[in-house]
Amino acid sequence: MNPHCPFCSATVTPRSRFCPTCGQALSQSPPRFSASSPIASGDPPIEGALTNAKRLQVRGNALDLRDLINVVESSVQWWQRGLSSGDAVTRDQAARAIDELSQIMRSLSQQLAQGRTTICITRRLPALRTFDVACPSCGSGNRAHARFCQRCGALLNAAPRYGVGSVRSRALKFRIAARTDTGRVRQQNQDAVYAGEIDLPGRQKAYLCLVADGMGGAAAGEYASRLAADVSRTYLERESVSHPPLTDEAWQNLLRDAVRAANRQIYDTARVDATRRGMGTTLTIALLVGDRLHIASVGDSRAYLLNLNGVTDDGALSAQLTSDHSLVARLVDIGQLTPEQARTHPQRNILYRSIGTDPSVDVDTRSEALEPGDIVLLCSDGLVNHVNDEEIVQIAFDEPDPDRAVTRMVNLANERGGRDNISVVMVRVEGGRNEEREHG
Ligand code: CA
């Protein structure tokens, strides 16, 4: 539940420093970190209620693969009834659901054939903070009803109003660090990371960060992740300076095209080169342009947004911006598991979407407003295998230097076993000119 202003009793968000209704400064104690208790192996199993009255056992964070295949099968049967509906929308929805479930079934069967018996659970994405009005003084986003800026207390109603997609571009500064590590178990690092500037027209710069996590064994996975990084980066560098997008939608289209170019090249290479057959990779890209963040993602490499003032309307300090394209994430989406049953966790997910394994690929994209104090973090599953979201938040805000922060995260994953390659890219977003005025 949201807190109330002690002066006028209006509802305020946990991230507000000033009351948006009366403009009074709100005294705030800094948010506390809660150390999350690890899931004990002795936890009682949770049972998920299924539409067909079958029961699915969730023990700790693991699901039995054969149970899941049964669930997917019965889900397909359930959706098949929708195919004979008189309503075209229902038929279309059913057809798309069956298509997704078929991809999942194929992936599950392959995993089972390879000797795997259980998988881990992920969760649905949260709703992020919404900004309707930009403060004329500090540029921070505010809700539509606000009279005073929740960040600096300035009067808002004298200011021209900006739409959600056109919050005034602020001078933000970015401090970036990237690190990838082989871990303690594997012989090779099949992850690839990149962080750097790309040119826009008129000497403007954007900042590109990416993580790719290759698969396919030996040389193939390493090659796939490098190729995904190189092809998408080159594509974005070329197009951003020659045909710079002007809207969020256009940036997302550009990102999607860049990811598809990488997909095509890896797929074609895998077809003609027997040593690289079946290779694939995840690819998660963050592009920071002005005060906008554009994300594209395929697979289970994650992007997070972190801020001590909260990144969601209910004040969560971190939010995952990407879906894990894993079986269990999809079961949550289609209502076969509730988000409460689906606990985030460590260990490799079964992917049903990746780069290079099919001639075409669906790419998730989104755009968000950036605020001073934000941290954008990309990582491969080798980090989240061992380090939970609360710990990521804690290290990110304990350690102001991004190089040291990413090193601490990698070191922690290694101390806990380093079972997989570990990659982290971090961007600290700092206020530029407008932010300085707030303090001066
Ligand atoms: Ca991995």
pLDDT in tens, 389-401: 999 999 999 999 9
Residue 294 to residue 240: CA distance in whole angstroms = 13
CA of 420 to the centre of ligand 1 (A): 6
Q: Which pTM was predicted?
A: 0.71
Task: Tell me yes or no: is domain 172-438 CATH 3.60.40.10.
Answer: yes
CA of 431 to the centre of ligand 1 (A): 34
Residue 225 to residue 381: CA distance in whole angstroms = 14
CA of 367 to the centre of ligand 1 (A): 25
Highest mean pLDDT, choosing among 39-43, 107-111, 173-177, 433-437? 173-177
CA of 257 to the centre of ligand 1 (A): 24
Residue 352: pLDDT over 80: no
Instruction: Specify the pLDDT at position 266.
Output: 96
Comparing 408 with 104, which gets the higher pLDDT?
A: 408
H or E stretch covering 376? strand 375-379
Instruction: Specify the pLDDT at position 168.
Output: 45
- 432: exposed, middle or buried (Cβ count in 10 Å: 0-12, 13-18, 19+): middle
Instruction: Specify the pLDDT at position 261.
Output: 98
Residue 377 to residue 286: CA distance in whole angstroms = 9
Sign (positive or negative) of CA dihedral 231, 237, 239, 240? positive
Instruction: Specify the pLDDT at position 82.
Output: 86
Residue 190: pLDDT over 90: yes
pLDDT tens per residue across span 38-63? 223 333 333 333 333 344 555 555 66
Where b means 16+ CB within 10 Å and e means fewer, 281-304 reads: bbbbbbbbbbbbbbbbbbbbbbbb
CATH code 3.60.40.10 region(s) in the chain:
172-438
Stretch among 73-82, 180-189, 392-401 having the lowest mean pLDDT: 73-82
Instruction: Specify the pLDDT at position 170.
Output: 64
CA of 18 to the centre of ligand 1 (A): 43
CA of 5 to the centre of ligand 1 (A): 45
CA of 222 to the centre of ligand 1 (A): 11
Give residue 384's pLDDT band: very low, low, confident or very high (50, 70, 90): confident
Residue 356 to residue 221: CA distance in whole angstroms = 11
Residue 383 to residue 300: CA distance in whole angstroms = 12
